[in-house]
């Protein structure tokens, strides 16, 4: 029995059972190859063994420095993009209070966490600068390559603000760099300036890095128990080593999505009934899109938050083009509970729900939606997770990473590169390097120079 369960009974009406059996051997041999390849430590499979081998000096440093930031900062600013951002935000938003950043410091007991370097909006950056005024803060710059433009711009701006506020020396003590252990622009800057650094192992790429210092340091600053996150991932690693497809939910997930893909279900919606999953879905989208979407192939990953989206894209899902399937994350036990009472006048007609919890109603919404969508021609997979906690987060991260790599191999693509990302960068850089005419970029608002 695994910690999470995958129920694909609402997808089986769309394919034959023999198709799963056929993929058993294919997946098992992909698994064997992954284990073999991971032995040479030169590829991109470091994440496969990471949980369980993490209790090293670096891990202790993460905890010590996180405690310092919790003591001296009201805000931690995390600067990064893509795989150097999404998993961290997924963990922080899933595992903290839904309104973490809005609570008072006394209630929160940990710094607010804000993210920058995720876009090139001067309004967003300026608003964040305003928010920082009068607040003690530290910076964590995260970039494996050290060269993402969004991250570099964010760092340049906030480094100056930090130096203006604290002076060069104290500013340096409030800057944490997470980058490649050996190389890259950020690594060089860290050595030159004496910033504190955390390393990203060479054999772990951006979207597989949330369980390294990339995600662990900011999560620890925000008060999340990173030991439990890694315990969850480690349990997934052990459970998902199981070679029998009937007992391995990662094998099943990879198999079902590929069977459906081959039947024209080319869009997958990751749906949740818990708003805290919003950024988890964003992380999942990036994981699958960058790993599978290449060479003219791949399932297009999208996400929905229910019941919100049942009142918007729900219509399309029920009756639009039949090229979709859905993967629903079901949380079995809510963190908090509200019970419906009885109103003497029953003006809203809701007394039939008296004594029922909102989670109970949410669960019925989930079951009803899965049935309705399946009956409307949308295969449904349900991933059952006992509760929302650091252990579950670690487990789910490992589960999806592992399933994604297997799935990519079934499809026949390399999950660890992202050649398409270079296209926008190349055309953007060539535009940025063109000489600027005076009439261009005419500044209509007051601009500040950093
Ligand atoms: O998954 C990936 O490799 C990418 O999404 C990267 O994480 C993203 O492009 C950011 O790269 P870097 O960490 O080098 O700044």
CB 56 within 8 A of CB 132: no
Q: Whose CA is nearest to atom 15 of ligand 1?
A: 143
Strand partners, 47: none
How many of the other CB atoms lie within 10 Å of CB of 242? 15
Å from CA of 208 to ligand 1 middle: 10
Which pLDDT belongs to residue 440? 58
Assess whether the C-beta atom of 145 lies below 6 angstroms from ligand 1.
yes
Order of strands across the sheet with 324-333?
Answer: 5-7, 380-387, 324-333, 267-272, 300-305
Please report, for residues 179, 217, 225, 240, 260, the alpha-carbon distance to residue 108 in angstroms, rounded to integers and kept in the order given.
29, 18, 15, 35, 44
Backbone φ and ψ for 203, nearest 5 degrees, come out as -90, 25
Q: Report the run of H or E that residue 380 belongs to, with start and end.
A: strand 380-387
Residues near 308 by Cβ (< 8 Å), separated by ≥ 6? 275
Pocket flag, ligand 1, residue 81 (CB < 6 Å) = yes
Angle at 340 between CA 337 and CA 342, to 5 degrees: 155
- Token pair for 142: 């995260």
Say whether 54 is catalytic: no
Q: Closest ligand 1 atom to the C-alpha of 214?
A: 13
Residue with tokens 């949330």: 210
Quick one: DSSP state of residue 39? H
Q: Output the pLDDT for position 15.
A: 95
Check if the beta carbon of residue 156 is closer than 8 Å to that of residue 133.
no
Give the atom of ligand 1 at the shortest distance from the alpha carbon of 179. Answer: 13
Is there a contact between 245 and 278 (Cβ–Cβ < 8 Å)?
no
Q: Quick check: is 311 catalytic?
A: yes
Cβ of 187 below 6 Å from ligand 1:
no
The rounded Å distance from CA 82 to ligand 1 centre is 5
CA distance linking residue 318 with residue 324, whole number of Å: 10
Integer angstrom CA distances of residue 51 from 48, 59, 132 = 8, 11, 35
Residue 51 in contact with ligand 1 by CB distance below 6 A: no
- Is the CB of 151 inside a 6 Å radius of any atom of ligand 1? yes
63 catalytic residue (yes or no): no
Q: Give pLDDT, residue 431.
A: 92
Q: Check if 179 has its Cβ closer than 6 Å to any atom of ligand 1.
A: no
206 in contact with ligand 1, CB cutoff 6 A: yes
CA-atom Rg of the chain in angstroms: 23
Q: Does any ligand 1 atom lie closer than 6 A to the CB of residue 73?
A: no
Taking the C-alpha atoms of residue 279 and residue 268, their distance in angstroms, rounded to an integer, is 17
Res 17: pLDDT: 82
Q: What are phi and psi of 307, to 5 degrees?
A: -85, 0
Please work out whether the CB of residue 314 comes within 6 Å of at least one atom of ligand 1: no
Q: Is the CB of 218 under 6 A from ligand 1?
A: no
* Alpha carbon distance 432, 427 (integer Å): 9
DSSP H or E stretch at residue 444: none
Secondary structure element (H or E) that encloses residue 179, with its range: strand 175-180
Angstrom distance (rounded) from CA 173 to CA 159: 11
Q: Which of 268, 290, 292, 326 is catalytic?
A: 290
Contacts 24+ apart (CB under 8 A), 166-173: none
Tell me how far the alpha carbon of residue 246 lies from the centroid of ligand 1, in angstroms: 35
Strands in 112-116's sheet, in edge-to-edge order, are 112-116, 75-79, 137-142, 175-180, 196-200
**Closest protein CA for atom 13 of ligand 1:** 143
Residue tagged active-site, from 133, 311, 336, 345 = 311
Residue 282 · residue 305 · CB < 8 Å: no
Cα 79 to ligand 1 centroid, rounded to whole Å: 12
Pocket test for ligand 1, best of 86, 89, 145, 181 (most atoms within 8 A of CB): 145
pTM of the predicted structure, to 2 decimals: 0.96
**Residue 70 burial (CB < 10 Å; 0-12/13-18/19+)?**
middle
Peptide bond into 307 cis (omega under 30): yes
Closest CA to 195 of 333, 65, 4, 296: 65
- Please give the C-alpha separations between residue 267 and each of 18, 259, 289, 323, 379, in angstroms, as whole numbers: 23, 13, 11, 6, 11
Strand 75-79 and strand 5-7: the pairing is unpaired
Angle at 286 between CA 399 and CA 96, to 5 degrees: 65
What are the residues whose beta carbons fall under 8 Å from the beta carbon of 174, sequence distance 6 or more? 72, 73, 137, 138, 139, 162, 166
What count of residues does the chain have? Answer: 450
Give distance in angstroms: CA of 282 to centre of ligand 1.
Answer: 14
Q: Give the model's pLDDT for residue 392.
A: 98
In short, whether 401's Cβ falls inside 6 Å of ligand 1 is no
Q: For each of the chain's 450 residues, which pLDDT tens digit applies?
A: 899 999 999 999 999 989 999 999 999 999 999 999 998 777 899 999 988 877 788 999 999 999 999 999 999 999 999 999 999 999 999 999 999 999 998 899 899 999 999 999 999 999 999 999 999 999 999 999 999 999 999 999 999 999 999 999 999 999 999 999 999 999 999 999 999 999 999 999 999 999 999 999 999 999 999 999 999 999 999 999 999 999 999 999 999 999 999 999 999 999 999 999 999 999 999 999 999 999 999 999 999 999 999 999 999 999 999 999 999 999 999 999 999 999 999 999 999 999 999 999 999 999 999 999 999 999 999 999 999 999 999 999 999 999 999 999 999 999 999 999 888 888 999 999 888 765 555 555 677 888
Q: Give the Å distance between the CA of 153 and the centre of ligand 1.
A: 15
């Amino acid at each position: 029995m695994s910690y999470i369960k995958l129920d694909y009974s609402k997808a089986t009406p769309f394919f034959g059972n023999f198709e799963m059996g056929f993929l058993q051997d294919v997946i098992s041999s992909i698994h064997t190859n992954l284990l073999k390849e991971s032995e040479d430590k030169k590829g991109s499979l470091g994440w496969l063994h990471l949980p369980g081998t993490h209790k090293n000096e670096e891990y202790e440093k993460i905890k010590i420095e996180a405690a310092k930031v919790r003591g001296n900062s009201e805000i931690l600013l995390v600067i990064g993009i893509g795989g150097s951002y999404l998993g961290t935000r997924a963990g922080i938003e899933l595992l903290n209070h839904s309104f973490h950043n809005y609570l008072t410091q006394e209630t929160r007991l940990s710094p607010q966490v804000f993210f920058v370097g995720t876009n090139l909006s001067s309004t967003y950056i300026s608003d964040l600068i305003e928010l920082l005024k009068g607040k003690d803060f530290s910076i964590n710059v995260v970039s494996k390559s050290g060269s993402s433009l969004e991250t570099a711009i964010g760092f340049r701006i906030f480094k100056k603000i930090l130096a203006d506020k604290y002076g060069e020396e104290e500013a340096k003590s409030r800057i944490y760099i997470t980058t490649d252990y050996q190389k890259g622009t950020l690594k060089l800057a860290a050595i030159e300036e004496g910033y504190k650094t955390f390393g990203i192992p060479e054999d772990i790429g951006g979207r597989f890095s949330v369980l390294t210092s990339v995600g662990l340091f900011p999560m620890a600053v925000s008060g999340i128990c990173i030991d439990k996150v890694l315990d969850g991932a480690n349990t997934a690693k052990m459970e998902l080593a199981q070679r029998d497809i009937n007992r391995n939910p990662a094998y099943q997930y990879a198999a079902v999505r590929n069977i459906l893909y081959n039947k024209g279900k080319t869009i997958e919606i990751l749906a949740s009934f818990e708003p805290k999953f919003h950024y988890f879905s964003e992380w999942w989208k990036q994981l699958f899109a960058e790993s599978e979407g290449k060479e003219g192939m791949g399932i297009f990953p999208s996400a929905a938050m229910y019941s919100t989206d049942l009142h918007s894209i729900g219509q399309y899902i029920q009756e639009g083009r039949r090229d979709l399937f859905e993967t629903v994350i079901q949380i079995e036990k809510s963190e908090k509970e509200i019970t419906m009472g009885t109103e003497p006048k029953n003006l809203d007609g809701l007394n039939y729900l008296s004594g029922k919890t909102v989670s109970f109603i949410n669960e019925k919404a989930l079951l009803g939606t899965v049935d309705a969508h399946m009956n409307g021609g949308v295969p449904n997979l349900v991933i059952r997770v006992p509760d929302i906690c650091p252990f579950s987060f670690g487990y789910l991260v490992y589960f999806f990473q592992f399933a994604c790599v297997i799935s990519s191999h079934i499809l026949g693509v390399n999950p660890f590169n992202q050649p398409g990302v270079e296209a926008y960068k190349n055309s953007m850089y060539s535009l940025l390097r063109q000489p600027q005419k005076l009439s261009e970029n005419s500044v209509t608002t007051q601009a500040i120079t950093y």
